[in-house]
């Protein structure tokens, strides 16, 4: 894809999803890798045409010693050259990692916490590509995802936008080459110690032998499933509200009219509303007591779900649970 085509493709994606309005400020998340460098330069080339202001942000995860610091210096030089503001954070991911977190998930969570802290009503643009979307869907499938996992990475969610989502990593590298753009290479991306890298280096090449247009095919699948997923969520939300009683409990008789896939979604929504992790085992246990019309479960610490007098409700501490 010629570089001018990448710019036009990104512009079309921005307009298709109404990502950016005139007068907005966009903060591009820049690691220094090829994807984020291309994102920054494409947005820089579009900012006057589309009427938005541009800034950048960078997170140093302190996972690769001097290499991490070198990446940060590279991003600082690039932003000085473009004369755009840069927000930075230095986060010691290993120190903040919780016991059961994967390193990747912990880094991601801390990164998005930083995005939220600096956004203040502004847009955050991340450099996720069609290649990333394909890898994410394949990872979710291997782990046994629900339908939502096949939706992949959304092009827009709240103030997070992903203008490169319909461009491949190959498109990005060609753009950088044609425009003589330097970028850094994260050495961990070359290792197969991480699940995503195994998918990227071993699984994706095999699938591309079967279908050279793999990324386009996965993008179409992702979009189709996303449409279905939104519709099913709408049905579930409407039935959940119908079942909700004045005292914020749920009529079990109404819940039991739902098909299995809708009931699982309703339970997931109830869990999320009550800060209960919606893992599959807990959701299925709750579906079980709803179908039985009686019972109680303890899906997580200090949260209980009980059916009494044909109503389902959540109790948020042990003392209250004993009183009921």
18 labelled as ligand-binding? no
144 labelled as ligand-binding? no
Question: Number of H helices and number of E strands within the chain?
Answer: 15, 10
229 labelled as ligand-binding? no
| Beta carbons of 262 and 239 less than 8 angstroms apart | yes
23 labelled as ligand-binding? no
53 labelled as ligand-binding? no
34 labelled as ligand-binding? yes
Instruction: Indicate yes or no: pTM above 0.85.
Output: no
pLDDT in tens, the chain (324 residues): 555 599 999 999 999 999 999 999 999 999 999 999 999 999 999 999 999 999 999 998 877 778 889 999 999 999 999 999 999 998 887 766 665 567 777 888 889 999 999 999 999 999 999 999 999 999 999 988 888 899 999 999 999 999 999 999 999 999 999 999 999 987 766 667 678 899 999 999 999 999 999 999 999 999 999 999 999 999 999 999 999 998 889 999 999 999 999 999 999 999 999 888 888 899 999 999 999 999 998 888 778 999 999 999 998 765 454 555
Detail the DSSP E strand segments found in 114-235: 123-125, 156-157, 160-161
State how far the alpha carbon of 108 is from the alpha carbons of 190, 202, 259, 298, in Å.
19, 23, 35, 29
State how far the alpha carbon of 257 is from the alpha carbons of 136, 209, 306, 313, in Å.
34, 46, 19, 18
CA 38 vs. chain centroid, Å, equals 20
| Cα–Cα distance, 22 to 48 (Å, whole number) | 10
Q: Which domains does the chain have, with CATH numbers?
A: 3-221 (3.40.50.620), 244-323 (3.30.465)
């Amino acid at each position: 894809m010629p570089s001018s085509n990448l710019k036009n493709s990104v512009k079309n994606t921005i307009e298709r999803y109404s990502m950016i309005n005139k007068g907005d400020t966009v903060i591009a998340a820049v690691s220094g890798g090829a994807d984020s460098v291309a994102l920054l330069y494409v947005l820089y080339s579009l900012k006057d045409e589309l009427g938005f202001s541009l800034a950048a942000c960078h997170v140093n995860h302190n996972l690769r010693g001097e290499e991490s610091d070198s990446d940060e210096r590279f991003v600082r030089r690039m932003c000085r050259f473009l004369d755009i503001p840069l927000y930075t954070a230095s986060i010691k991911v290993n120190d903040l990692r919780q016991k059961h977190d994967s390193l990747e998930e912990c880094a991601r969570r801390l990164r998005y916490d930083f995005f939220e802290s600096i956004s203040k009503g502004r847009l955050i643009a991340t450099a996720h590509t069609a290649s990333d979307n394909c890898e994410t869907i394949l990872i979710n499938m291997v782990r046994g995802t629900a339908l939502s996992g096949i939706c992949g990475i959304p092009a827009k969610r709240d103030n997070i936008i992903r203008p490169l989502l319909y461009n491949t990593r190959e498109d990005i590298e060609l753009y950088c080459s044609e425009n003589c753009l330097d970028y850094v290479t994260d050495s961990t991306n070359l290792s197969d110690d991480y699940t995503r890298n195994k998918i990227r280096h071993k699984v994706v090449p095999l699938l591309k032998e079967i279908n050279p247009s793999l990324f386009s095919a996965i993008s179409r699948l992702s979009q189709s499933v996303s449409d279905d997923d939104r519709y099913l969520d709408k049905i579930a939300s409407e039935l959940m509200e119908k079942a909700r009683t004045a005292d914020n409990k749920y009529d079990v008789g109404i819940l039991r009219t739902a098909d299995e896939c809708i009931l699982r979604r309703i339970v997931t929504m109830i869990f999320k509303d009550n800060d209960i992790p919606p893992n599959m085992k807990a959701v299925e246990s709750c579906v079980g007591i709803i179908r039985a019309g009686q019972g109680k479960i303890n899906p997580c610490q200090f949260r209980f779900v009980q059916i009494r007098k044909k109503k389902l409700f959540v109790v948020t501490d042990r003392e209250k649970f004993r009183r009921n």
